């Protein structure tokens, strides 16, 4: 699953349809897929926004939709590129918590690229790019 700094939602699709988009490449969205999508949307507090277009929801809500979209296929690897970079601090904290919780629940490996030290420190393992070299850091700093 992929999460980008800019959510890249399809503007003509509803929140629910955007979450289901990755399933269209396989066999199309089935009823159980829609139930899983609604469960994810409920987890992120957006079940009541399922029929809204992206233009009718906030930036933080769009990013949470992108998180659901990345998790709909239950990936074993989740790649997040600056997932909180465009968000205010409170929303960034919530999205960070959500990513960590959902990746743990789905037993997915979460690889996150971020400039946020607050988010990075929440990971048990992290690497830091220093002078062109990747240096492994512990959660202690």
- Res 88: pLDDT: 81
20-24, 52-56, 120-124, range with greatest mean pLDDT: 52-56
- The residue ranges of every structural domain in the chain are 2-138
Looking at the DSSP bridge assignments, the partners of residue 111 are 79
pTM > 0.85: yes or no: no
Cβ count within 10 A of residue 120? 18
Give the homologous superfamily in CATH for domain 2-138. P-loop containing nucleotide triphosphate hydrolases (3.40.50.300)
- Res 103: pLDDT: 83
Phi, psi for residue 44 in degrees, rounded to 5: -95, 5
Confidence of residue 51 (pLDDT cuts 50, 70, 90): very high
User: For the chain, how are helix, strand and coil distributed in percent, rounded to 5?
Assistant: 45, 15, 40
Q: What's the Cα-to-Cα distance from 81 to each of 4, 35, 70, rounded to whole Å?
A: 5, 27, 12
């Amino acid at each position: 699953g992929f999460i980008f700094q800019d959510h890249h939602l399809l503007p003509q699709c509803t929140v629910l349809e955007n979450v289901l988009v990755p399933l269209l490449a396989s066999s199309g969205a089935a009823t159980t897929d829609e139930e899983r999508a609604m469960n994810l949307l409920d987890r992120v507090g957006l079940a009541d926004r399922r029929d809204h277009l992206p233009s009718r929801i906030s930036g933080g809500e769009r990013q949470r939709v992108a998180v659901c979209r990345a998790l709909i296929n239950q990936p074993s690897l989740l790649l997040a590129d600056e997932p909180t970079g465009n968000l205010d601090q409170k929303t960034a904290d919530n999205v960070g918590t959500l990513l960590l919780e959902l990746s743990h629940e789905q037993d997915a490996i979460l690889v996150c690229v971020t400039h946020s030290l607050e988010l990075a420190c929440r990971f048990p393992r992290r690497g830091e790019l220093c002078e062109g070299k990747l240096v492994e850091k512990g959660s202690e700093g």
